[in-house]
Structure 1
Amino acid sequence: MKIDLTGHTALVTASTGGIGYAIAQGLASSGATVILNGRSEASVERAKARLSAAVPGAKLTGVAADLGTAAGVDALLTALPPVDVLVNNAGIYGPLDFYDTDDATWEQYWQINVMSGVRLSRALLPSMVNRGWGRVVFISSESARNIPADMIHYGVSKTAQLALSRGLAKRVAGSGVTVNTVLPGPTISDGFADMMKDEVARTGKSLETLAREFVMAARPSSIIQRAATVDEVANMVVYVCSPLASATSGAALRVDGGVVDDIV
């Protein structure tokens, strides 16, 4: 099985690091022209240089835009060429007790995690439908189905992505455009590495060991009993973006290592 995205143009939001960057690299390695996105010109340029070195000959562009506002999304859209693959990866997370989560925090999470995908999908789906082919993928989380008590605001935003994705898949039914959601579980991302750097220095343990300990303490239902890598998450996304996944739409596809304890 060979994934070939030659001739397709993919926008991956928040793709200067972590899971987003891994997705961008996977898509570029499959032949797609990739549009990188980050909040600053400097981060976008660093990601472009890194990806150019990793995938020689990759066709890359980049647009700096903060997708937490309508104006930021408009700025991104203005700079885009025609796009037929959209990966809505932009998102924020962080623990905060429900009683301390004020309206401004709820609004921030809603705007970045949900409305950025709403706005981009609303703008880009019609041209995909007109061309008769396209892929939209939302990067949600196992927290969408396993709401964390210490991040209720985050979990709610991720559950909203599931509803949005399913509804959009039905809205474009029969068009040749698919819309899906990918749900990562605990993942060794740049954010996780940054969060654990002091613990690595204090204990001398590897990042992978600390990640495994975190999974077993905080997500003991994990079947793989470790954190995933960003590449393992990206592999699922790249497949769903490819022509090979033409019969998969409206799905919530888990890359959570079996954390969510059910059989569907």
Structure 2
Amino acid sequence: MQIDLAGKTAIVTASTGGIGFAIATGLARAGAAVVINGRSQATVDKALGKLKQALPQANIKGVVADLSDAAGAARLTGVVPAADILVNNAGIYEPKPFFEIDDKEWERYFQTNVMSGVRLARFYLQGMLDRDWGRMVFVSSESALNIPPEMIHYGMTKTAQLSIAGGLAKLAAGTQVTVNSVLPGPTLSEGVREMLKDSAREAGVSIEQAGADFVRNHRSSSIIQRLATPEEVANLVVYTCSPQASATTGAALRVDGGVVNSIV
């Protein structure tokens, strides 16, 4: 299968590292003009340099915008007025006891993980419908289905994304615009690497082995019994953004390593 996205403009939010950067790289490799997004000029510039080094011919640009509020969304849409592909990857997570999560923290998670995608979908979806072609992907999580007791506030936002994506897919019924969710499981992103660093050092094992131990202890239903790589997640997202995925819409597509114990 040869995925060709030449002539398409793709925005990947929160794409200076981890899954977002892997998605941006995959879309650029398929020929799309890619917009990298991050919260600081330094991280955006670093990501652009890294991507240019890997793909010298890539058509890429960067936009600094914190998408946790309406002003950040307006900044991004002001710089990039139209897009054929939108990957809503922006999100935050942190284990925290339920009784210590105050109203402000619930609101912060909702604004960052949910409203960032809502605002951008509201802006870009109409143009996709007018042109009768588009791909929108919400990067959710297996935590949308298996709400983690240590991150209930995070799980709530991931479930909300599934509802929004499903509704938008129905809104685009009968068109060449698709809207889907992709659900990663535990993934070895930079943030997870940082989280595992101390435990790996204390146990005298590699980060990868510490990740496998984490999966066995905290996501024991995993079939692959290890952390996925950002590239493995990105592969599914890039396919979902492709012309070949034209009959896939309104779906919650799992790339969770089998963590979710379901036959469908």
Q: Same fold per TM (> 0.5)?
A: yes
Superposed CA deviations along residues 59-109 of structure 1, whole A, max 9, x for unmatched, are: 000000000001111111101142110000000001111111100000000
Asked if 1:41 is matched to 2:34, the reply is no
Report the Cα distance in structure 1 between the residues aligned to 2:261 and 2:2, rounded to whole angstroms. Answer: 32
For residue 98 of structure 2, what is the amino acid of its counterpart? Answer: F
1:5 is matched with: 5
Report the Cα distance in structure 1 between the residues aligned to 2:194 and 2:247, rounded to whole angstroms. Answer: 38
Matched residues, number: 264
For residue 205 of structure 2, what is the amino acid of its counterpart? Answer: K
Asked if 1:129 is matched to 2:129, the reply is yes
Report the Cα distance in structure 2 between the residues aligned to 1:60 and 1:52, rounded to whole angstroms. Answer: 8
Report the Cα distance in structure 1 between the residues aligned to 2:202 and 2:225, rounded to whole angstroms. Answer: 23
Report the Cα distance in structure 1 between the residues aligned to 2:47 and 2:203, rounded to whole angstroms. Answer: 31
- Stretches of structure 2 that go unaligned for 5 or more consecutive residues are none
Report the Cα distance in structure 1 between the residues aligned to 2:121 and 2:15, rounded to whole angstroms. Answer: 17
1:244 is displaced (CA, Å) by 0.5
1:229 is matched with: 229
Report the Cα distance in structure 1 between the residues aligned to 2:171 and 2:234, rounded to whole angstroms. Answer: 26
1:243 is matched with: 243
1:16 is matched with: 16
- Stretches of structure 1 that go unaligned for 5 or more consecutive residues are none
Taking the TM superposition and a 5 Å limit, the aligned residue runs for 1:185-204 are 185-204=185-204
Report the Cα distance in structure 2 between the residues aligned to 1:120 and 1:197, rounded to whole angstroms. Answer: 34
Asked if 1:115 is matched to 2:115, the reply is yes
Report the Cα distance in structure 2 between the residues aligned to 1:225 and 1:65, rounded to whole angstroms. Answer: 36
1:74 is matched with: 74
Report the Cα distance in structure 1 between the residues aligned to 2:5 and 2:202, rounded to whole angstroms. Answer: 44
- TM-score in terms of structure 1 length: 0.99
1:175 is matched with: 175
Report the Cα distance in structure 1 between the residues aligned to 2:205 and 2:9, rounded to whole angstroms. Answer: 41
Superposed CA deviations along residues 174-201 of structure 1, whole A, max 9, x for unmatched, are: 1110000000001001101111222233
- TM-score in terms of structure 2 length: 0.99
Which has the larger displacement, 73-82 or 245-254? 73-82
Superposed CA deviations along residues 146-195 of structure 1, whole A, max 9, x for unmatched, are: 00011111000000000000000001111110000000001001101111
Local SS of the residue matching 1:258: coil
2:154 is matched with: 154
